[in-house]
Amino acid sequence: MELDFKALQPAEYLATFLVSPNPLLLFSVGSFVQEHGLRPDGRKADEARPVTVNTGSVSTADGSALVRMGGTLVTCGVKAELSNPPVESGDCGYLVCNVDLPPLCSPRVTPGPPTPRGQSLSQHLQDTLISCRCVDVKDLIVGQDNLCWVLYLDVVCLCDNGNVRDAVFFAATAALRNTSLPTVDVSSGSPEVSYQQRHPLSLPHLPLAISYSLFESHILLDPFHEEEELSSGHVSVVVLSHLKMGQPDCKLIGGLTKSGPPSLPSQKLIELVHRAQKRARLLADLLLTASGDKKT
Amino acid sequence: MAELRPLRCEFGVLERADGSARVVQGATSVLAGVYGPAEVKAGKERSNRASLEIVVKPARGQGGVRERFLEQLLAGCCEQCILASLHPHTALSVVLQIHTDQGSLLSTLCLALCLALVDSGLPLSSPFSSLSTACSPDGDLLTDPSLAQEQASQSLVTVMTDCSSGRVISTHTQGVCSLQQLESSLAHAEKAGEKMKQFYQKAVQRRLAKDAKFSHLNIAI
């Protein structure tokens, strides 16, 4: 009966879950769960799915990461190439972000040209990284000799189980932190690249995205795919975390994007930003632990 | 008191569109045309609502990833104000042509979109307005910045608000800002929303009076 209800009226099914006391849970679990606002996967509205991160998982890339958030699986690789700086401003390198959502990742995606969703994710990632100077393109200049690095940041979603944006940002951040560039010696006239001697990429801020779905009057942190599909709007906050005395500091905001109904009062948005800052601290901690910069 | 650049609008600029408006804010100029509710392409038909399509055309060349991004933002904003469920099995398309971009482009696009919708006579849940705020490296807030101010600033926050309730419909930010800057940008946008509502009323009165097509306003919030 429960499955029929879910198939026929998905939105009402989700709405029934979020009210208190929850008749569906009473029906299936008995009187054990009297708590209100549980989502179909058993989380509370402001509870996120478990996150795992593995850095340096692609040996052929200059930096890489594999991130799993619940059922969402995203991998990111950074590849560096030498090139000439752009003609219009000769003092910076390039950062090229590409987010790919292949048909492999979800039945929603069909083969063909890149979807608007993938394009807008790529644009959001690239805008954030460049406008917040997370990667300073001016640091990508090599010597005085009209040479610069091009960083190709390719993100591939392997499994889209909702909230790809957070996973994409986390994977990109982890991969950039993992990136090291070969040393280039320009003193002898022709540039010589030594792949053995590498130096890490400087990364003043770690951009971490935290997204919410707006479903009717509920605000759901880290939505999974069914919630995402049924929700009409979303809010995503990009928190810039930097290291201060070995601890992540998450005061600065690199982006606040709200789109779709319902409209929210501004106090509510500020509260969401506060909550996102708290979660960003946890994510930054995880990243530091994963990259071995922090002993637990 | 925060200054806004002079704002001008003109209705019914396009003869064949169901609603159109040109909005000039400072030196930024945008033209919007609304077509529909009209016949819908197969595959895009929705049984419970009108399908909405927004196209942003750059001043020159073909639209790219940036335009797709603007379209998605504006569609998200529009969806909250159009009563789409009143027009099932139809398509509604809005074309926004950028003439010149001299700063605060997204907020000008948003105003043009709203005024073109008002001109088309489609029922809206409420009019919406938009305000961009730039934060200079010294920490000063500049409302409705010009392109030069935008480029010199370290962040740009664009907020779209519902004119009647003052609630936030959409936001978009670029660059690094602090929580305080974000809060005051939201507060400025709410105040600007009330002023914009008066501007919309004045513009519509002018349009109905048929004496002049232009509505012109110098506003400060």
Residue in A with minimal Cα distance to B180: A270
Overall average pLDDT of the A263-275 stretch: 93
Question: Rounded to the nearest 5 degrees, what angle is found at the Cα of B85, between the Cα atoms of B83 and B87?
Answer: 90
Q: What is the pLDDT of residues B170-190, one digit of tens each?
A: 999 999 999 999 999 999 999
Q: What is the pLDDT of residues A57-84, one digit of tens each?
A: 899 999 999 999 999 999 999 999 999 9
Does B124 fall in a domain? yes
Please give the helix or strand (H or E) that residue A230 lies within, else none: helix A225-230
Above 50 in pLDDT, residue B26? yes
Distance from CA of B87 to the nearest CA of A (A): 18
Select the residue of A232, A263, A266 nearest B187 (Cβ to Cβ).
A266
- The pLDDT value recorded for residue B215 is 65
User: What is the domain count for chain B?
Assistant: 1
Q: Give the C-alpha separation, A12 to A68, whole Å.
A: 29
Identify the domain containing residue B35 by its residue range: 7-214
Select the residue of B69, B183, B186 nearest A120 (Cβ to Cβ).
B69
Task: Give the amino acid at A220.
Answer: L
- The pLDDT value recorded for residue B16 is 92
CB B76, CB A259: distance < 8 Å: yes
Does B170 fall in a domain? yes
Does B152 fall in a domain? yes
Phi, psi of A66 (to 5 degrees): -125, 125
Q: Give the C-alpha separation, A244 to A186, whole Å.
A: 34
Lowest pLDDT segment from A37-41, A204-208, A286-290, B178-182? A37-41
Select the residue of A122, A254, A256 nearest B65 (Cβ to Cβ).
A122
Does B220 fall in a domain? no
**B171, A131: Cβ pair inside 8 Å?**
no
- The pLDDT value recorded for residue A32 is 39
Task: Give the amino acid at B138.
Answer: D
Does B221 fall in a domain? no
DSSP 8-state assignment for residue A187:
T
Q: What is the pLDDT of chain B when averaged over all its residues?
A: 89
Percentage above 70 pLDDT, chain A: 93
Would you tell me which residues 104-133 of chain A have a C-beta closer than 8 angstroms to some C-beta of chain B?
116, 119-120, 122-124, 127, 131-133
As for the ipTM of the complex, it is: 0.85
Residue A258 tokens, joined: 């709200």
Q: Which residues of B touch A264 (CB under 8 A)?
A: 167-168
Q: Give the C-alpha separation, B175 to B117, whole Å.
A: 31
Residue in B with minimal Cα distance to A272: B179
Q: Helix count (H) and strand count (E) of chain B?
A: 4, 10
Distance from CA of A249 to the nearest CA of B (A): 13
Does B1 fall in a domain? no
A–B CB contacts, 8 A cutoff, strictly below: 97
The total of other beta-carbon atoms located within 10 Å of residue B180's CB is 11
Q: What is the pLDDT of residues B54-100, one digit of tens each?
A: 999 999 998 887 888 889 889 988 888 888 889 999 999 999 999 99
> Measured between CB atoms, does A273 come within 8 Å of chain B?
yes
A13: left (phi over 0), alpha (psi -120 to 50) or beta: alpha
- CATH number of residue B11's parent domain: 3.30.230.70
The total of other beta-carbon atoms located within 10 Å of residue B99's CB is 15
Q: What is the pLDDT of chain A when averaged over all its residues?
A: 87
Question: Rounded to the nearest 5 degrees, what angle is found at the Cα of A50, between the Cα atoms of A45 and A51?
Answer: 125
Q: What is the pLDDT of residues A115-164, one digit of tens each?
A: 888 888 998 999 999 999 899 888 898 877 788 999 999 999 999 999 99
Does B219 fall in a domain? no
Select the residue of B66, B175, B186 nearest A132 (Cβ to Cβ).
B175
Does B34 fall in a domain? yes
Residue in A with minimal Cα distance to B182: A270
pTM to 2 decimals? 0.89
Peptide bond before residue B37 is cis, with ω within 30 degrees of 0? yes
Strands A94-100 and A147-159 come out as: parallel
**A119, B68: Cβ pair inside 8 Å?**
yes
**A119, B69: Cβ pair inside 8 Å?**
yes
